[in-house]
Amino acid sequence: MSDTFVTASPHWTWFIIPYFFVGGIAGGAYFLAAVLEWFGRPEDRPVIRTGYSLAFWGAVLSGLLLTLDLGRSLRFLNMLFQSDNFPHLMFKSFSPISFGAWALLLFGACAFVSWYAETGGTPAKLIAAVGGLLGFFVAGYTGVLLSVTNRPIWADSPWLGALFLASGASTGAAAIALFAPGRGATERSLRWVTTFDARALIVELLLLIVFLVSLGTVAKAWLSVWGLLLIVGVVGAGILWPLRLHLKPAGAGALRNPAVMVLLGGFLLRCVVLLASNSIEYHRVASVVAR
Amino acid sequence: MPEAMGFFTDTTICIGCKACEVACKNWNQLPATNGGVSELSGDSYDNTRKLDGTHWRHVKFIEQFEGPYNGRWLMMSDVIDMNPAAGTAQKCTLCYDRMQVGLEPACAKACPTDSIQFGPIAELRTRAQKRVDQLKAQGEKRARLYGDDPNGPLGGLNSFYLLVDEPEVYGLPRDPKLPSRNLKSSGVLSAATGAVLGLVALVGLRKRRMDEIGGGGERGSEN
Ligand code: SF4
Ligand code: SF4
């Protein structure tokens, strides 16, 4: 039995699940916008704008969810400043939470500037470069954070950060594909986004398999309703089905829209990874060992 | 350097009176209830429902304590918990405030059977080993120390235990590790994934351009 089973689950509330989801979308969407900012062409502007606004509003929502999760909201200042030493910054390089708090703040600032400034040009490109990297960081660090605990499943594999990053990319692309048409995106820009989305889904699927294999005997912990949801919801509805829809569009309706299904799958991924581990109570584990 | 201090907890003589929990709560002004529900178990003679950051704080707490006034702690397990009154996470302080004025920790002071002992680590180790030998001589062959070995996991824990069953039964990890062990590998794999996805995005753009040139696209020269 892995030692991670005799630990207690963290005191997070459900706010953390939508945060992981929204943070991933915001980071992924910004990254794609940044790539187009550098290497795209004028006709891609609507897609870029969509990416920036998803990133900005996503960052705002993320901050809100995280602050609410604290229970005592003003305490979020303690993540950024040393309370006894006020203007001094609180930053711990070994802590993904500390890193993440700063990355989210700086990412939000980049997203705001990119979203607010209408036009491209060199300054926009520079901001996009910084924000794009921060975006991927925001999308992926949440998985790293889970691995840097002593909890079952999360701490039993080093692949969770990579998996969340890929999911951030696929859901970010899906969100753009969903909203960009309303902002006047051209067929050609959109095709690049959806092609990227399909490839990101393949990367995500491979990483998910590697992640499950890397768990070794701990993979048994998935023998629960969350494991079922992982197979049916995340892999089936959220990866394989949209991949098939990419190859063979099936007409109108939310369930036939690959972007909607990818977003659903991304949300379920965060749910099952969080809940599969959180549902393991060490008191129960201890009593099983005792018998 | 001052002598390293620590805890030795002999679980075989704990009578489950919970005086340590009450003492800890009392000294640290922690609430006895959470949402109106009492958290001290009163329905059995076994120990407790929960040993954590708002009860008997040090029990599930592995610390490296470098002398009485210079604490460096490693947390694990159920040690940190929410204080329902303050709404913040709290953990065992080793009664730092008491130690500064030469008092032993509240939990150790309160324990009527001396199940919890506080003192210089070297001395506690000797005492603990004697107790194991005594128990073995009496026929309790499973008696063992947990976390006492300076060459063991995490270089020995300055809060160690005498157990008579598998560590998991006590809710203790067999081979405690630092959570940060995963930081580097996770970070590197994530960065690599980011690079792969960036490449995927760029290859897509390049293909779009090539297709247009190949297909005689009228906008092929634009980029
Ligand atoms: S040392 Fe003090 S704070 Fe820690 S468990 Fe004992 S009484 Fe509680
Ligand atoms: S005070 Fe001593 S005997 Fe009573 S429950 Fe605590 S450790 Fe056991």
d(CA B12, CA A286): 18
Given pLDDT bands bounded at 50, 70 and 90, which one contains residue A83? Answer: low
B91 lines ligand 1 (CB under 6 A): no
Token reading at A10: 């963290």
**Across the interface, do B183 and A148 touch by the CB < 8 Å criterion?**
yes
Q: Residues A33-49: what's their mean pLDDT?
A: 93
Given pLDDT bands bounded at 50, 70 and 90, which one contains residue B62? Answer: very low
Instruction: Give the domain range for residue B115.
Output: 5-177
Residue at A170 is within a domain: yes
Q: Give the residue from A2, A3, A78 with the most B CB atoms within 10 Å of its CB, the best one to mutate.
A: A3
ipTM, interface predicted TM-score of the complex? 0.86
Phi, psi for B77 (deg, rounded to 5): 60, -145
Flag whether pLDDT at B97 surpasses 90.
Answer: no
- Chain B CB contacts of A165 under 8 Å are 190, 193-194, 197
Flag whether pLDDT at B201 surpasses 70.
Answer: yes
Token reading at A101: 């708090």
Given pLDDT bands bounded at 50, 70 and 90, which one contains residue B70? Answer: very low
Residue at A184 is within a domain: yes
Same domain, B78 and B122: yes
- C-alpha neighbours within 13 Å on the C-beta side of residue A67: 14
Flag whether pLDDT at A209 surpasses 70.
Answer: yes
Residue at A8 is within a domain: no
| Ligand closest to the CA atom of residue B110 | 2
Flag whether pLDDT at A276 surpasses 90.
Answer: no
- Chain B CB contacts of A205 under 8 Å are none
> Which tens digit of pLDDT belongs to each residue from A240-268?
999 999 888 877 777 888 999 999 999 99
Given pLDDT bands bounded at 50, 70 and 90, which one contains residue B21? Answer: confident
**Across the interface, do A289 and B77 touch by the CB < 8 Å criterion?**
no
Same domain, B191 and B124: no
Of B165, B183, B200, the CB nearest to A200: B200
Same domain, B79 and B155: yes
Residue at A11 is within a domain: no
Q: Residues B168-194: what's their mean pLDDT?
A: 81
CATH of residue B66's domain is 3.30.70.20
Residue at A193 is within a domain: yes
Q: Strand (E) positions, chain B?
A: 5-10, 33-34, 37-38, 63-65, 71-73, 81-83, 88-90, 116-120, 144-146, 159-163
Q: Residues A137-144: what's their mean pLDDT?
A: 88
User: pTM for the full model?
Assistant: 0.78
Best probe residue, ligand 2, of B14, B21, B162 (max atoms within 8 Å of C-beta): B14
pLDDT at B91: 66
Given pLDDT bands bounded at 50, 70 and 90, which one contains residue A28? Answer: very high
Could you tell me the sign of the dihedral formed by the alpha carbons of A146, A136, A198, A257, in that order?
positive
Of A6, A94, A158, the CB nearest to B180: A94
Given pLDDT bands bounded at 50, 70 and 90, which one contains residue B36? Answer: low
Same domain, B171 and B204: no
Structural contact between residues B178 and B74, judged by C-beta atoms closer than 8 angstroms? yes
Same domain, B13 and B69: yes
Domain count within chain A: 1
Distance B136 CA to ligand 2 centre (A): 22
Instruction: Assign A278 to helix, strand or coil.
Output: helix
pLDDT at B54: 47
Instruction: Give the domain range for residue A21.
Output: 16-290
Distance B21 CA to ligand 2 centre (A): 8
Domain count within chain B: 2
Same domain, B143 and B68: yes
Q: Which residue has the higher pLDDT, B192 or A278?
A: B192
- Chain B CB contacts of A166 under 8 Å are 193, 197
CB neighbour list of residue B130: distance below 8 Å, 6 or more residues apart: none
